[in-house]
Amino acid sequence: MRISPLLNASRLRTPFLYFLGVLCLVYLLVPAHAAAPPDVPSVIVIQNATILTVSHGTIEHGSILIKDGKIAEVGQSVNAPKDAQVIDAAGQFVIPGIIDCHSHIAAESINEGSVSVSSMVNMAEILNPEDIDIYRDLAGGVTSANILHGSANSIGGQTLVIKLRWGQPAAKLPFEGALPGIKFALGENVKRSNFSIPGQPKRYPATRMGVEETIRGAFSEARDYKKAWGDYNKRFAAGEKNLIPPRRDLRLDPLVEVLEGKRYVHSHCYREDEILMLLRVAKEFGFKVRTFQHVLEGYKVADELAAAGVGASTFSDWWAYKVEAYDAIPYNAALMTRRGVVVSINSDSAEEATHLNQEAAKSMKFGGLSHDEALKMVTLNPAMQLGIDKRVGTIDVGKDADLAIYNHDPLSAYAVVQKTLIDGRVYFDRQRDIAERSEREKEKKVLIDKLKKSAEKKPEDKKPDATVPIGQKPAEKKPEVKKPEEKKPEEKPKPPQSNGADVAAAAVRPGGAL
């Protein structure tokens, strides 16, 4: 893959194309499917479908009744009222909406990479509901995603789970009631083995030993801080007067929440030794690791993971992009599952997320998991890992109507998503998307022609000076400059692409160091 086009972020190469880019931006801001979130018919019935419930087997020629965004009935037949909106899914397969346990979509930035403990920053505050990757992943059957901070720091930023409610404002994206998380990271990325940033001094830690001490140090502080507040609250409650409360520390607050079990730890890791290291540290300070992310050597310490009751969220078959990924094997998911670990397959990439169903299927080939076990890797298991399995992850009465409908068995490379529903609303409909394309092309052409005309009238607008500031805008839409370095090593092995993310991937490989 040539680097040049990748670095050419917006790929807008002529003044005219700059205008085009602006148009695209304007256009993107108001696409028909984005501007207006789908209406909610109060009652929907999906009929004649093969329903893969995940919790209680497969129902052939079954129906699902959806009321007020929830699954009201599921079975061979349901009591649908006459005015229910009917989705005929004859010959099609319905599965619970896919849950991606490691995603960086819908975010304005990914890494606060300047410090080794960046727990004060929060992904919830920088959600971008107009990120086109939300729609693309929705078109891949994804309904919920764990939006993680990058892996630049031993202790990274705060994270949250969202639903892919394309067209809704940022405030409507968070998964209501889902426990927030925090990103940890171990290994090559945090010790910056594979790159350096010009002008920035070498940062502690630079070894796996230092990574442990960074985390221990932060939790040591957090424990003292927690105690100081506990003491203060106790004395305050006892009626003591003239007390000065401890100074609030935004960096330690989320770590106290971790100690109190109010915030999940999602830790990026690769090697077996660092996995066990974090489990020891967690034990020392009395907190739980909720999931290990990537965990490509998890299969070497599967018993320890199972004993600790920690979830493992891994790639299907990525390997060899760095040293700590050289022992990665596609049997990882199956092997950990066999040893009793709850395993999910994640994407860490907007592209990979569009076919997580296929990635899950690979665990049948590599390690011989059953169809049900494989499907769980992208539905129930990630739901359990994120603590949202009471709401989503299976097709059961009372759960959210988050569903993906395919034209074939979803664990096949030939399956295509036809519809994706969230809270009982159809957020993606392939037929509608195709039908709207010619309209959108026409609309785009009208806008381009209009701009061309105005550009002809005012030739000075074609000057580079005039176009550069405008041209920057489309680039800002893309995540490339905002997805900084440390997150990227995970995306690196992706087959070459030219989306914005790859621009970042390229940007973070100075001197071939990665």
Partner 1 sequence: MKHTFNAVRIILLIAVVCALPPRASAQSNAYVITHAKIFTLAGNTIEDGTLIIRDGKIAAVGAGLDIPAGAQVIDAKGLQVYPGIFDSITQMGLREIGAVSATVDSTETGNYNPDVVAATAVSPSSEHIPVTRAAGITEVLAVPGSGGFDSGGSSNVIGGQASAIHMAGWAIEEMLIKKSAAMVLNWPEIQTQTFDFATFSRKEKPYADAKQEYDKQVTEITDWVERARHYAQVMEKSSAAKYDRDLKLEALAPVVRGELPLLVFADRSREIRNAVEFCDKQRLRMILAGGEEAYKVKDLLRSKDVPVILRPSLSLPPEEDDPYDRMLSQPAELAAAGVKFAFASFDNSFARRLGQNAANAVAYGLPYEEALKAVTIYPARIFGLDDQVGTLEQGKLANLIVTNGDPLELTTDVKYLFIRGQLTSMDNRHLRLYEKYSKRPKAQ
Contacts to partner 1 from residues 283-322, by CB under 8 A = 299-304, 307, 317-322
Q: Which of residues 463-492 bind partner 1 (CB under 8 A)?
A: 464, 467-468, 471-472, 474-475, 477-478, 481, 489, 492
Task: Choose between 47 and 354: whose C-beta lies nearer to partner 1.
Answer: 354
Task: Choose between 216 and 440: whose C-beta lies nearer to partner 1.
Answer: 440
How large is the angle between the packed helices 430-457 and 15-29, nearest 10 degrees? 140
Which residues are paired to 71 by β-bridges? 66
Q: Which of residues 488-507 bind partner 1 (CB under 8 A)?
A: 489, 492-499, 501, 503, 505-507
Cα angle: 371, vertex 376, 380; to 5 degrees = 155
Binding-residue pattern over the window 387 to 406 for partner 1, x denoting contact by CB under 8 A: --------------------
Task: Choose between 124 and 197: whose C-beta lies nearer to partner 1.
Answer: 197
- Any contact of residue 369 with partner 1 (CB under 8 A)? yes
* Other residues' Cβ atoms within 10 Å of the Cβ of residue 327: 16
Among 60, 201, 248, 414, binds partner 1 (CB under 8 A): 414
Is the C-alpha dihedral spanning 492, 494, 497, 499 positive or negative? Answer: negative
Residue (of 156, 177, 166, 174) closest to 113 by Cα position: 156
Binding-residue pattern over the window 169 to 208 for partner 1, x denoting contact by CB under 8 A: -------------------x----xx--xxx---------
Among 192, 362, 425, 487, binds partner 1 (CB under 8 A): 362
Helix or strand or coil: residue 156? strand
Task: Choose between 2 and 61: whose C-beta lies nearer to partner 1.
Answer: 2
Among 67, 136, 271, 399, binds partner 1 (CB under 8 A): 136
Give first-to-last CA distance, the chain, whole Å: 15
Token pair listed for 473: 């805008």
Residue (of 412, 386, 351, 414) closest to 402 by Cα position: 386
Rounded to a whole number of angstroms, the minimum distance from the CB of residue 472 to partner 1 is: 7
Binding-residue pattern over the window 38 to 77 for partner 1, x denoting contact by CB under 8 A: ----------------------------------------
Task: Choose between 32 and 86: whose C-beta lies nearer to partner 1.
Answer: 32
Residue (of 155, 159, 152) closest to 117 by Cα position: 155
Place of tokens 């945090």: 190
Cα angle: 105, vertex 106, 110; to 5 degrees = 65
Largest CA distance in the chain: 77
Rounded to a whole number of angstroms, the minimum distance from the CB of residue 26 to partner 1 is: 10
Size of the site for partner 1 (CB under 8 A): 108
Q: What is the DSSP string of 390-442?
A: TTSSS--TTSB--EEEESS-TTSTT--EEEEEETTEEEEEHHHHHHHHHHHHH
Q: Which of residues 137-166 bind partner 1 (CB under 8 A)?
A: 139
Give the Cα separation of 235 and 241 in Å (integer). Answer: 9
Give the Cα separation of 289 and 293 in Å (integer). Answer: 11
Binding-residue pattern over the window 319 to 338 for partner 1, x denoting contact by CB under 8 A: xxxxx-xxx-xxx--xx--x
The stretch among 47-55, 217-225, 236-244, 431-439 that binds partner 1 (CB under 8 A) is 431-439
Rounded to a whole number of angstroms, the minimum distance from the CB of residue 353 to partner 1 is: 10
Among 76, 77, 79, 370, binds partner 1 (CB under 8 A): 370
